[in-house]
Chain A
């Protein structure tokens, strides 16, 4: 597809144009700058970016499916970026989050894009951030980033979001597990999903007490919501909670502060992505002598000796 065709497709909200644009930016194509510059910044500024994270099997995709339905009933156009891990061995990935969202497959106003982590050092935030911009620029007023809440790169992605929800479910480990990964610090909303299962009340009480204590860099504690995503229970209350957090973030300036942090994060990520090839080239060309410690060699390579 020619570049004008892609840019036109993007303007016309053509699914193919949007999809191609995301791929080109993800692949660092020369057209990326043109595509990103063509977007309507005011749409990007206004969109709400919701991060949904949590351990595997907590119900993130099913919950995302229900949240989409709810926003669609309000007439809002929804974008989803579903991140799944790449195999560190083969570099391949199975992207299966869509399965839970296939009910929206024929809705032109639900744009779902799966993205693999590709085990990159940097680059993932850059790619996901660009995808958020493209989705917002193509008229999505809500963009959901869904990712497993383990690992540094996934945690970094979630920092692109205006509002972050952590999904937990009973039976996936005790409250110590939840306290471990630093997940609780980033969450604005704690969702106890599978609330009809044994142990949900206890988990919710644990979360309530953690939320009351506050944590991380947030002034007020997180909200706790209980849901049964598979039956659509608790979704209205969850969306109301999201709405409340969003309003308070907009009023307090928290939203702007997070956007600024996210911007810096994306810049750093793009910078790493851009310098990496030249460094790899230098190393592979072998114009260094493999003497001294690797650390010194790296400094030499970068001219910081």
Chain B
């Protein structure tokens, strides 16, 4: 390893009034075990708080977890908050209890990947890795 392997930084957050953080914590650990540095913001954050933290921590991707059913409102709100913070280039991925018919709507709203309870964790990690690599090559 002459060149130090680039370590990807990501943020995992839970927007809105949903305290069910088992999925978010599980994913945070899985990403850590896959070599990511994971900034975890905890539960009940506003989209603006998540965007501000993503900017300060200079993450390459933001992952959102939501089980309350408010994903159609809150996921796009985070995308918008990032744009407002001048960080609309940071990719947003989302997961949770999300009906199939909502996935297209979320992707249209700028969520680049959507994961549901059946998604294998390896697939989620691969999606984060791709998102980070794309963002980092675009940025440099």
Contacts and interface: CB of A to CB of B under 8 A. Distances in A.
B35 to A, nearest CB: 5
Contact of B1 (A19, A23, A116, A284): A284
Contacts of B41: 98-99, 102
A98 B6 CA distance: 23
B2 A284 contact: yes
A19 B86 CA distance: 13
A16 B55 contact: yes
Contact of B2 (A87, A91, A280): A280
A302 to B, nearest CB: 17
Nearest to A95: B39
A60 B77 CA distance: 32
B139 interface: yes
Nearest to A89: B33
B97 interface: no
27 contacts: A1-B139, A15-B52, A15-B55, A16-B55, A16-B86, A19-B55, A28-B4, A87-B32, A87-B33, A90-B32, A90-B34, A91-B5, A91-B7, A92-B32, A93-B38, A94-B32, A94-B38, A95-B38, A98-B39, A98-B42, A98-B57, A102-B49, A112-B53, A114-B57, A118-B7, A277-B4, A280-B1
Given A95-B57, A112-B53, A114-B37, 18 more contacts: A16-B87, A28-B4, A86-B37, A90-B32, A92-B31, A92-B33, A92-B34, A92-B35, A92-B37, A93-B38, A95-B39, A96-B42, A111-B56, A112-B56, A114-B57, A116-B7, A118-B7, A280-B1
Interface of B: 1-7, 9, 28-29, 31-42, 45, 48-49, 52-53, 55-58, 85-87, 139
